[in-house]
Chains A and B, each alone.
Chain A
Amino acid sequence: MTDPRIREFTVVGQSERKVDSVALVTGKPVFVADLQLPDTLHVKILGSPHAHARIVRIDTSDAETMAGVACVLTHENTPPTRHTTAGQGFPEPSPYDTRMFDAKLRFVGDRVAAVAADSEEIASAALKAIHVEYEELEPVLSIDDALRSGAPTVHDEEDATGIYDAERNVVADVDIDVGDVAAGFAGSDVVVEVTCETQYAQHTPIETHVVYSYLESDGRLVLRTSTQVPFHVRRIVAQTLGIPIRDIRVIKPRIGGGFGTKQEVLLEDLAGLVTLRTGRPALLWLSRKEEFTSARTRHPMRVRVKLGANETDGILRAVEMEAVSNTGAYGAHGLTVLANTGSKTLPLYNKADNAHFYGQAVYTTLPVPGAYRGYGATQGYFPLETAMDELAERLGLDPIELRRRNHIRVGETSPIFEKLGEGREGVEQTIKSCELERCLDLGAECIGWAEKRGKRQREGAWVHGVGMSVMMQGSGIPLIDMGAAMIKMNEDGSFNLLIGATDLGTGSDTILAQIAAEVLGVSLAQMIVLSSDTDVTPFDVGAYASSTTYVSGTAVKRAAEKVRDQIFGVAAPVLESAPEELVLSDGRVVATSGKALSLAEVCQRAMYESDQFQIAATASCVPQESPPPFLANFAEVAVDTDTGQVKVLHYVAAVDCGVAINPMLAEGQMEGSIVNGIGYALTEEMLISSRGRVRNPTLFDYKIPGILDTPKIDVLLVESYEPTGPMGAKSIGEIGINGPIPTIANAIYDAVGVRLRETPFTPERVREAVRRGPIA
């Protein structure tokens, strides 16, 4: 039964093709590195060979005098400003612990020096001509290493700020309480406790990080960059280089995926400085190997969950989550990912009167984690949803039933919303849309839950099992995120839509244009979208926290409504109607009398004929809450009991994202995040040597799912109506990636009776668990 508030829309709700799809399928030169400017310098970075070291002496004279070398940068000739690379709103909730170049190196691959030269070959040769004397320091290679008493201090510099306890390597410490968990557990009939460990994994966007910088004819610096956060880039580069914001322009063209790793200012300061010092354009990109070692990763975490419940009704009485997060050599996103681990998980089970979330993010001298789709929730749902599976078994309840009895519902709240946000207190909110019940019904039917659960159907060495999990995420960061949109009208009845919002391939240009087109009563083709250019488009925090549809979409809707009102103001006297009695439909303004004007006529009048003015409006949105999308995942797996190989045969994701602005693109988001999550669950693992070096920094050795590895995937869009969202929409960008780990873990348990606590579930690990544990 669909919510009656979900209207029949004309453009919204249609699976329109992405506005950039033709350019992309024909291979047009629309990506950062597709630009070819004369005199371009090629920049290469010398990375630290040591996990922890000081630069005692660095001699760049040989490199500098090499023919074709334009400049060499080190800590001796670059600004020392401490900043964060995290692309977050100002003031960023991440420590200012990073220098462009530091005399101290904190992970293998950390910046030692950079060369800009006429060609990549010359730049690479020049790197070899830089002579560095290092004083090696004791590395910190794990969370336990970092917290050990007497451990080396990773950030011992005087001028870092925002670190919780630098001496003890603790970047962030979070501790929030609701009620009294000790009493809650004491009073529970059944208590389940699990501890899970997740691995170093990486986004591996097919396009690595890349930036092309150059000077405009007026001498301003332009950064054409593969980023999710153009405005944060502008601000942070200005800060780092000590130049005014007005002297920088950041443009994001088409980019080849982000998934969070491009919510970071990794290269722009460097290329920008090269251009400012030499006057020449500069191209800087990370090789695939550098992308692995020196870009960003998922936060490896150890997370313990304890659940207590009553036998009588299966209601949770207490929920406790303790998370320790390895935030690597720099603290970008350390606090916020840690906080999100609890803030996007615990509110789901609001029936528990007692809850406790606490944890720390610690420095190590290892590759640097950052933002990655799911942002801590992914790591938190592993122990939470596997503990729930175990609790269900102990209570003699079907796992689905246990979720039904405990999940948050419309009209309800959780004290966690207020107590735990992203890095600081959150915002109180009440759930206004939630179709999780229908998600559970439809998903269970689609996977064949009743027929398959507990059956352990065998096919030779393969045993089948099914598992499920539920989750929520958020839609933007309330009271903090802001997105804005500007719309101006053209005299043929078309509109320019200028948005800061960042399309990583997600299709935000398209869905935001659909929202505007819907309000303005025109087809999508009448919207001309320009996005993510800090000189031209209004501000937007960028693509993260699942904010674009909900936050930027609301700004677009408001701007379109203002433009609509201006259109009515122009048309009303001509149509002899009150503005309130006009409607927009099919490219025309229509009065109740039936008289109509085309939009072209309206704009011509406003542009050339009478009381001329530019029909245009800007609007912003700061969200007051973060309405969660909800997801029920189901998976059927087959486990080869001889080899331990796990095959996912069928994966069902029933998701409530509110109203789907573009169903095809919404499905695409789910399908992509599910497959990424399957890789995270089964095959992806960055291996670190005893010297802190990444042992498998190639796509040859770090295996992400290819088309041979994917199951049958069914995405069921179960619409709800979110009254605070544009046209009833919420978000869908991240939630899908949280599902595979716990769902597959629970399915493996159903198949072979073993509970896996460490990802990825490689064949060797699974086989070992089966060998040791029950299979019956």
Chain B
Amino acid sequence: MMIELTINGERKRLDVNPGEKLLDVLRREGYMGVKTGCGSGDCGACAVLFNGRAVNSCLLLAGKADGADIVTVEGLGGGDALHPIQEAFAAEGAVQCGYCTPGMIIAAYDLLSRNPNPTEEEIRIGLSGNLCRCTGYVKQIAAVKRAASAMANEGGDGND
């Protein structure tokens, strides 16, 4: 079936299988920032923004994405500039192997867009669907705090 959607601001018309997952569609279309970790919604590595909300793209049926606005990690930041969340992850050492990182950043983006000044507990809840085996999550919590602070100072969401 044909679906029409926006991916990272670009309008796209794609031929998809009705039952396939948006994860597979996105990777087939070259959005390699969206990762395959489990295929069952348990690890969060595949998270994308779906109409502004972070979801597991391995659980999102391609048919459901018709008419939707999708943002992947490649769509954050502008040109050469890193989004404050990306910058914070890099600066705090919250990136080790980096495989869970895009999903984490998307989840953090969703959290901060609705709760610009989260407590540590709220940060933990916001990232609770993203598994990481490398970092122990310590520096990711620090990174989200740092991003929240940077975005508050910028007075925007960083996407200028």
Contacts and interface: CB of A to CB of B under 8 A. Distances in A.
Given A25-B82, A672-B134, A31 B40 contact: no
Contact of A17 (B73, B74, B90): B90
Interface string B122-143: 0011011111111111111100
B136 A206 contact: no
Interface string A703-717: 010111010010000
B21 interface: no
A25 B137 contact: no
Interface string B60-101: 000000000000111001000010001101111101111111
Given A207-B37, A668-B135, A699-B131, A31 B32 contact: yes
Interface stretch (A104-112, A252-260, A339-347, A551-559): A252-260
A24 B42 CA distance: 21
B35 interface: yes
Contact of B74 (A27, A254, A287): A27
A287 B40 CA distance: 11
A697 to B, nearest CB: 11
Contacts of B131: 206, 699, 704, 706
Contact of B127 (A207, A288, A700, A707): A707
B30 interface: yes
Interface in B107-156: 124-125, 127-141
Nearest to A671: B136
Contacts of B73: 25-27
B96 A506 contact: yes
B89 A25 contact: yes
Given A26-B77, A26-B82, A676-B133, A15 B40 contact: no
Question: Per DSSP, are chain A's interface residues mostly helix, strand or loop, or mixed?
Answer: loop
Nearest to A712: B138
**Which has the most chain B C-beta neighbours within 10 Å: A27, A664, A671, A700?**
A27
**Which has the most chain B C-beta neighbours within 10 Å: A17, A31, A668, A675?**
A668
Contacts of A507: 96
B3 interface: no
Contact of A34 (B32, B38, B91, B128): B32
A242 interface: no
B86 A254 contact: no
Contact of B35 (A25, A207, A288, A699): A207
Given A505-B134, A668-B93, A671-B136, A707 B141 contact: yes
Contacts of A698: 38, 40, 42
Given A25-B86, A26-B33, A206 B95 contact: no
Interface in A553-594: none
Which bucket holds chain B's interface residue count?
35 or more
B137 A675 contact: yes
A206 B97 contact: yes
Interface residues of A, number: 53
Interface in A1-39: 15, 17-18, 20-29, 31, 33-34, 36
B39 interface: yes
A23 B32 CA distance: 12
Interface string A182-219: 00000000000000000000011111100000000000
Contacts of A24: 95, 98, 101
Given A26-B82, A505-B98, A708-B128, A700 B77 contact: no
B36 interface: yes
Contacts of A92: none
A674 interface: yes
Contacts of B133: 203-206, 257, 259, 672, 676, 704
B16 to A, nearest CB: 14
Nearest to B125: A708
Nearest to A256: B99
A80 B14 CA distance: 46
A23 B102 CA distance: 11
A699 B130 CA distance: 12
Contacts of A471: none
15 contacts: A21-B90, A23-B98, A25-B95, A26-B33, A27-B73, A28-B33, A205-B99, A207-B99, A255-B99, A256-B35, A664-B92, A667-B138, A698-B38, A706-B137, A707-B124
Given A27-B102, A706-B129, 9 more contacts: A20-B98, A23-B98, A26-B33, A26-B77, A206-B100, A672-B134, A704-B131, A706-B131, A708-B128
Q: What 10 A-B pairs have minimum CB-CB distances, sorted nearest first?
A: A27-B33, A505-B97, A24-B98, A256-B99, A671-B136, A675-B136, A29-B32, A699-B42, A27-B73, A21-B90
Interface of B: 30-40, 42-43, 45, 72-74, 77, 82, 86-87, 89-93, 95-102, 105, 124-125, 127-141
Interface of A: 15, 17-18, 20-29, 31, 33-34, 36, 203-208, 254-257, 259, 287-288, 504-507, 664-665, 667-668, 671-676, 698-700, 704, 706-708, 710, 713
